[in-house]
Each structure stands twice: as C-alpha cells, then as structure tokens.
Amino acid sequence: GAISDDGSRIFWTAAFGVGPLYVRIDGAETVQIAPANAQFRVASPDGERVIYSVGKELFEGSVEPGASTSTKIAGEVDGFMGASRDTQLLYLVSQEDLDAEGPAKAGEHDLYLYRAQEDSFAFIGALSGDDAREVFGSEESEPTLTPIARAPFLRSSRISADGLYAAFASSAPLTGYDNTDQPSGRADAEVFLYDAQEDELLCASCNPSGARPHGENRATAVNPYWAAATIPGWENQSHA
C-alpha cells in the first residue's frame, strides 16, 4: 500500500499481497477501488491516482471522495517494473502488441514505457522468459533477481523519480551484443539503461570490444541464472 504525501489518503489491500483494494480518505471514509484479487502497484503523491493489477490486467484508478473509477491500461501483463513518482510514466512487461505499427510482437515478453497523459506505449525491447517473472518468496527460497520481481530485494531494476530513465538487468540480447557466456554457453544477464527522452537503449555492461562475457553462475535448482552484470535488489524495503 501507500500513504499520500499529506497523509490524507491511505491505500491498502484487505489480504496479504492480493485482495480487495481500498483507500481511506481523511480518516473518515473508505472507498473500494477493486473488489477482489487486486495487486497494488503504485499511487501518486497526492493520492488521486493509483495503479493496480487484477490477474493479467493493469489498471489506473482515479480516486475522489465517495467514488473511484478505473480504466484498463493493458492486458497479458507479465509484470510491473516501476513508475515515475507522479505515476504518469509506467514501465511494464506485456505479451500484448501495444505499440500499434511498431516492432513489438504479441506473445513475447515486451517491455514498454506507458505515457498516461498521451495514452501511448513505447516499445523498449523483448525480455527473456527468465526476466519476465514476478518473483515472490524469501531470499533463501527464491534468490533469483528479475527486473519485475514483486519482492523488492529481488528486483534488478530502478526507475528515476521523473521516470525518464530506467536501469535494469536482462539476459536478452536487447542491443545486439552477443551475451553468450564463454565458459558455460548460457545467456548472461547484462545491465541496460533506457533514456525515455531520446527513446534510446544502451547496454552499460556489455564489453565494448564485442568480446563475449565471462559471467558468474548464480543458479539454483529451480532458477537457472547466469550474469555478467546485474543490479542488486533493494536493501531499504521501506523505500522500495
């Protein structure tokens, strides 16, 4: 959940993680936003806008005293990477083709930037299946980092406060660099930086010589994971 900057609005789900979503307004009124199976994602600082998912669908809710209205943003959503502080820029992964005539393909784990004011999607790249997992669990049982992990300490991504920059790790060759690990032959995770102003994706960790990486085996029995570089999970859970 979340609390608005002035403390007048409190968002919460009536269950652990997934359940009915509510907002408490001015300590006097409780408004239901979603009836069941909702997953809170993020809320605006003024508490007037909330992003949440129900199953594979992502919604934006507008909250007013006495009522709330919701609009679907996307379906077939694999996960949510993050948002700008004002929630106007959202990063999400969906298997829907959301960029009209652009390069995205339905059925792939496509990473998008959604601009709420324009109601438009910018395709960033197609992530791998290992990337597109919303990891839950404890650090001991689910040690794999993914850019859309629900558990903050397992999330290998960061979004700037203005939403114009996104840093994330992925094992997909998003910029054409051959990330096949030299010793193992597995696809190594690399770190990427997306600039929304320039609509430009750079690989920050790829070897500039073009030589294939020497990664590290971070795999477990249930989570195959090799990495040449990554972004550590959140350490301060209260700011995740």
What pLDDT does 65 receive?
85
- Between 217 and 1, whose confidence is greater? 1
- Between 239 and 112, whose confidence is greater? 112
Q: List pLDDT tens digits, range 154-203.
A: 888 999 999 999 999 999 999 999 988 888 888 888 999 999 999 999 99
Q: How far is 179 from 170, CA to CA, in rounded Å?
A: 10
What pLDDT does 14 receive?
82
Residue 37, helix vs strand vs coil: strand
What pLDDT does 16 receive?
74
The pairing of strands 67-74 and 77-83 is: unpaired
Q: Which pair of tokens denotes residue 193?
A: 């930086």
pLDDT greater than 80 at residue 98: yes
**Is the separation of the CB atoms in 226 and 216 below 8 Å?**
yes
Q: How far is 51 from 183, CA to CA, in rounded Å?
A: 43
Q: List pLDDT tens digits, range 106-154.
A: 999 999 999 999 999 999 999 999 899 887 655 444 457 889 988 887 8
Percentage of the chain lying above the pLDDT 70 cut: 90
E-strand ranges in 75-225 read 77-83, 89-94, 109-115, 120-127, 157-159, 165-170, 190-195, 200-203, 216-217
**Is the separation of the CB atoms in 151 and 137 below 8 Å?**
yes
